[in-house]
Amino acid sequence: MSEINLPAAAEPIDQVGLKVLTIVATLALLVTAPFLASEYWINAIIVPFLILSLAGLGLNLLTGYGGQLSLGAGAFMMVGAYATFSLQLRVPELPLPLALIVAGFIAGAVGLAFGIPSTRIKGFYLIVSTLAAQFFFEWLFLKFPWFYNGNSSATIALSRGLSFFGLDANSPHGRYYLTLGIVALLTLLSFNLIRGQTGRNWMAIRDMDTAAAVIGVPVFRAKLQAFAVSSFILGIAGALWAFAYLGSASVQSFGLTRSYQILFIIIIGGLGTIRGAYLGAGFVSLLPLALDWLFQHLFSGHVDAGLLQNIQKAIFGLLIIWFLIKEPEGLARLLSLRRTQGARRRLFPS
Amino acid sequence: MNMFLETLIGGLLAGTMYSLVAIGFVLIYKASGVFNYAQGSLLLFAALTFVTLTDQGVPALGAIAVTIGLLVLTAITIEKLLLRPLTNRSPMTLFMATLGLSYVVEGVAQGIMGSQVRALNLGIDDLPIFLGDIMISQFDLIAAGVALAIVVVLSLLFNRTRIGIQLRGVADDTRAALSLGIDINRIWQIVWAVAGLVGLVAGLLWGARQGVQFSLSLVVLKALPVLIIGGFTSIPGAIVGGLIVGAGESLAETYIGPYLGGGITPWFAYALALVFLFIRPAGLFGERQIERV
């Protein structure tokens, strides 16, 4: 499919220096960001952007690397959020970070369960399984008051807020650092996973699962692993979305629209790349702002909000189609094209 | 027993409404291998256009003619701007492109014609008919009749006309069809237009049922399990799948629902589809793919 051109020599020293410099600069920017941006930017744009990136990362492991199309990202986020709520409410001894991890494992287990059909069903038939998850959990979390502790508005919120180990993460800065820390850790985890045997197995299955089975890739196990790891990350992203960004969430916060949004993030950003999730999330978070700004200036606020929403929707759809036609490998590929030629291409199955 | 029969018949008739939506999918999937997620938005677009025109005082027949014209135009545009540049891409890419397309169609249709709920009156009274002790909805009966008529017309089209035979050729082996000189782009335009017409019929019937608004495009999600059960490539499959889903849903809601607190219809069809898939991974009537390395 694509040629692998291994570099004949190690990277030139000056390029390594450049790389280190970029990394240091990025880190410095990330740490100081809260002091550079206004509170509005942190609350309304940067934190949701980070969380959406994390969710995109989770789905990308399953769809971009594992080749298993999922329309149920929202469902696994929902499970993570409701599990965190339940744990904080019913097991108050458990500090928040541990509760998040346990909630991640619960979401992972649920993902595993809904991934089981993937071992027998392929391609489009599989979206039925993930959609089943989507509709089932929307019903479950709304139907039984136990899940939202019988509160009259059927919403969930952490009563003690985001404090743990004597730290208080409720301020905008606190939320930012909490989110950033978790996103960084999980990104590192994903990097290591896809560079190792697990990731190689996923990509082999994505490219052609029959061939992968023939050369001895444990297809059954690898597919389930992909579902579990992806749902683990999605679950934590869901908990962050509910409590670090929204504050209080309901089933609607994780509806089908959210699932599509996450899918679009990875399509636009680039399927099967880690940085694609960030690029896509950036695009998805900034586009509405840019369109809003544009229409404000063009028509100075004379456009009715409903119409604006529909125009945004149409433009969004057009961009998706345009991306798929012009650059099916997403923004990530545009970047890598500029940077290196003959870099390993990661193709979505074609 | 009467209660059971009534639930069953009501469900079967409701199922034909699902089949109507599913047939539009099957047509496009057969001819171009595209899982057309935008079928629901096309359905909304068709119904919305019809309602807007009749609200402006255009007589029903004229409104239908204009809507059909617009649907054909849409089909040609889609073929030129979306399908042709994406020829030979993976089915996933095409699917995601139709997801984008559904956003465009919904955004444009609602942007121009408004997003409020519109009532659609087809002049069919929803009176109950009694067959012995069993109550049947007249509207559902007519909808079922329409679905049946569409299936007959489509199978005549597929089996008796030149275009139909070309269509089957394309569906069977695209490359072989191309080498025989079949104009595949024109075939795609025709198929998308026909699917649009089926969408119009489904949109009118569904619209009369629940009002014309955004949620109409969500019937896609109702049709999906139907397709899965019947198989993506079979029109009879879409009918049988619709009947199974319709009957299953209404029986489950009546007999299992109360134990689970009710409201299980949104996910029940999917659970049912999963069960069927475990037994037959390509649906009841779908073609099994032989895998080669």
Q: Encode pLDDT of A6-29 as tens digits.
A: 555 555 555 667 778 888 888 777
Residue among A121, A117, A44, A106 at smallest CA distance from A75: A106
* CA gap B222, A273 in Å, rounded: 33
- pLDDT value, residue B289: 66
Q: What is the mean pLDDT of residues A271-298?
A: 84
Asked if A312's CB is within 8 angstroms of B96's CB, the reply is no
Which residues, in sequence order, are CB contacts of B32 under 8 Å at separation 6+?
A: B83, B170, B188, B191
Q: Specify the number of domains making up chain B.
A: 1
- Segments making up each domain of chain A, as ranges: 37-339
Q: Can you read off the two tokens belonging to residue B166?
A: 């070309």
Please check whether residue A232 is in contact with residue A21, taking contact to mean a CB–CB distance below 8 angstroms: no
Determine the distance in angstroms separating the CA of B234 from the nearest CA of chain A, rounded to an integer: 15
| Full residue range of the structural domain in which residue B72 is found | 19-216
The more confidently predicted of residues A150 and A181 is: A181
- What are the backbone angles phi and psi of residue B68, rounded to the nearest 5°? -60, -45
CB proximity B255 to A under 8 Å: no
- pLDDT value, residue A346: 47
What burial letters (b/e) apply to A268-299, b meaning 16+ CB within 10 Å? bbbbbbbbbbbbbbbbbbeeeeeeeeebeeee
The more confidently predicted of residues A169 and B223 is: B223
- pLDDT value, residue A300: 67
Return the axis-axis angle of helices A274-299 and A172-195, rounded to nearest 10°.
Answer: 140
pLDDT surpassing 90 at residue A330: no
Determine the distance in angstroms separating the CA of A183 from the nearest CA of chain B, rounded to an integer: 27
- pLDDT value, residue A343: 43
Asked if B111's CB is within 8 angstroms of A307's CB, the reply is yes
How remote is the C-alpha of B211 from its chain's centroid? 17
Average pLDDT, chain A: 83
Tell me the HSE value of A330 on the side-chain side, using a 13 A CA sphere.
31
Q: Does the domain made of A37-339 have the CATH classification 1.10.3470?
A: yes
CA torsion sign for A195, A200, A202, A206 is positive
Report yes or no on B195 lying in a domain: yes
Please check whether residue B217 is in contact with residue B39, taking contact to mean a CB–CB distance below 8 angstroms: no
CB proximity B91 to A under 8 Å: yes
Report yes or no on B233 lying in a domain: no
Q: What DSSP state is assigned to residue A116?
A: G
Please check whether residue A163 is in contact with residue A96, taking contact to mean a CB–CB distance below 8 angstroms: yes
pLDDT surpassing 80 at residue A125: no
Report yes or no on B190 lying in a domain: yes
Please check whether residue A267 is in contact with residue A181, taking contact to mean a CB–CB distance below 8 angstroms: no
pLDDT surpassing 80 at residue B237: yes
Report yes or no on B155 lying in a domain: yes
Cβ contacts of A130 on chain B, cutoff 8 Å: none
Asked if A120's CB is within 8 angstroms of B278's CB, the reply is yes
Q: How confident is the model at residue B87 (pLDDT cuts 50, 70, 90)?
A: confident
Report yes or no on B261 lying in a domain: no
Question: Residue B286: closest CA among chain A residues belongs to which residue?
Answer: A125
Report yes or no on B211 lying in a domain: yes
Q: How confident is the model at residue A101 (pLDDT cuts 50, 70, 90)?
A: very high
- pLDDT value, residue A347: 47
Question: Residue B275: closest CA among chain A residues belongs to which residue?
Answer: A117
A vs B: CB pairs below 8 A: 133
Please check whether residue B227 is in contact with residue A107, taking contact to mean a CB–CB distance below 8 angstroms: no
Question: Residue A208: closest CA among chain B residues belongs to which residue?
Answer: B293
Lowest mean pLDDT among A147-161, A220-234, B62-76, B277-291: B277-291
- pLDDT value, residue A239: 93
